[in-house]
């Protein structure tokens, strides 16, 4: 099956802890993304990698750091989580070309207590 | 700078009704517009896109959208909705990074 896979589905943690989310795509795409979706469903891009190279780095707190070992994997680490980090984190990848198709994972829901 | 505006936060219809979900954009470059659907607790799924050519594009499950340069719009339509179409719909404008609208929650009553 070709798709974007995210783990874990849910994660509950306390303020100040470190968390890591994994994302893998088996579509052969070169570009991957992390989006944050808040409780109002607003989507904000956080990072984008093309073939392991960071190409988009929006203004996010420094405690967020993406990690890419190869073009099929893009993980997200949050060092010392804050309550406002509670959200759904969506990973996506895109096909090459002028009008790429974006494929999203099912998301990782983070709750910081 | 690219912006996407979805003027309706919520739309409620009955099964079998037609529906139009509105999307307006402002973008200074080449136009690439798309629509996505998000069912509760799931990721976004691609519905359709427009880049060039015929301004009316067909997507999955009977959805279509029409690009209008004069109106800066890319509205999504379906002639006859099903209860399973209940979801949040996102319009996006993008080239190297998609910018999403705020989403429109569609509720279809049986």
Q: What is the pLDDT of residues B58-97, one digit of tens each?
A: 999 999 999 999 999 999 999 999 999 999 999 998 766 7
Residue B24: which residues within 8 A CB-CB, separation 6 or more? B4, B5, B7, B71, B72, B73, B74
- Residue whose token pair is 């976004």: B44
Task: Work out the pLDDT band at A88, boundaries 50, 70, 90.
Answer: very high
pLDDT of residue B58: 96
Q: What is the pLDDT of residues A10-53, one digit of tens each?
A: 999 999 999 999 999 999 999 999 999 999 999 999 999 988 88
Spatial separation of the C-alpha atoms in residues B61 and B59, rounded to whole Å: 7
Contact A102 B36 (CB under 8 A): yes
Judged against a pLDDT cut of 70, whether residue B1 lies above it is answered with no
Contact A90 B43 (CB under 8 A): yes
Contact B103 A104 (CB under 8 A): no
- For B65, the token pair is 């959208």
Nearest CB to A99; choose among B36, B44, B49: B49
Nearest-neighbour CA in chain B from A102: distance (Å):
7
Q: What is the pLDDT of residues B12-65, one digit of tens each?
A: 999 999 999 999 998 766 778 999 999 998 999 999 999 989 999 999 999 999
- Which residue in chain A has the smallest CA separation from B89? A41
What does the H/E/C string look like for chain B?
CCEEECCCCEEEEECCCCEEECCEEECCCCCCEEEEEECCCCCEEEEEEECCCCCEEECHHHCEEEEECCCCEEEEEECCCCHHHCEEEEEEECCCCCEECCCEEEEEEC
Contact B96 A102 (CB under 8 A): no
Residue A97: which residues within 8 A CB-CB, separation 6 or more? none
**Chain B neighbors of A39, CB-CB under 8 A:** none
Contact A92 B100 (CB under 8 A): no
- Which residue in chain A has the smallest CA separation from B34? A101
Judged against a pLDDT cut of 80, whether residue A98 lies above it is answered with no
Helix (H) or strand (E) holding A23: strand A19-25
pLDDT of residue B18: 98
Nearest-neighbour CA in chain B from A2: distance (Å):
14
Nearest CB to A104; choose among B30, B44, B103: B44
């Amino acid at each position: 099956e070709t798709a974007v896979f995210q783990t874990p589905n849910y994660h509950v943690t306390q303020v100040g802890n470190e968390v890591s989310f994994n994302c893998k795509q088996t579509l052969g795409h070169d570009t991957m993304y992390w989006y944050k979706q808040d409780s109002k469903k607003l989507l904000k891009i956080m990072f984008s990698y093309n073939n392991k190279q960071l190409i988009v780095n929006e203004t996010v707190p420094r405690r967020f750091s993406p990690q890419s070992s190869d073009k099929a994997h893009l993980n997200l680490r949050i060092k010392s989580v804050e309550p406002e980090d509670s959200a759904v984190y969506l990973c996506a990848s895109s096909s090459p070309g002028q009008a790429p198709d974006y494929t999203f994972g099912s998301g990782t829901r983070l709750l910081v207590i | 700078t690219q912006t996407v505006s979805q003027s309706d936060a919520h739309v409620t219809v009955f099964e079998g009704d037609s529906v139009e979900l509105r999307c307006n954009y402002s973008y200074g470059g080449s136009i690439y517009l798309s629509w996505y659907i998000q069912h509760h607790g799931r990721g976004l799924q691609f519905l359709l896109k427009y880049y060039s050519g015929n301004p009316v594009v067909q997507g999955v499950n009977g959805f279509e959208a029409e690009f209008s340069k004069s109106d800066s719009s890319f509205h999504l339509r379906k002639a006859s909705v099903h209860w399973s179409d209940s979801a949040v719909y996102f319009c996006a404008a993008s080239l190297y990074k998609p910018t999403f609208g705020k989403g429109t929650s569609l509720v279809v009553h049986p």
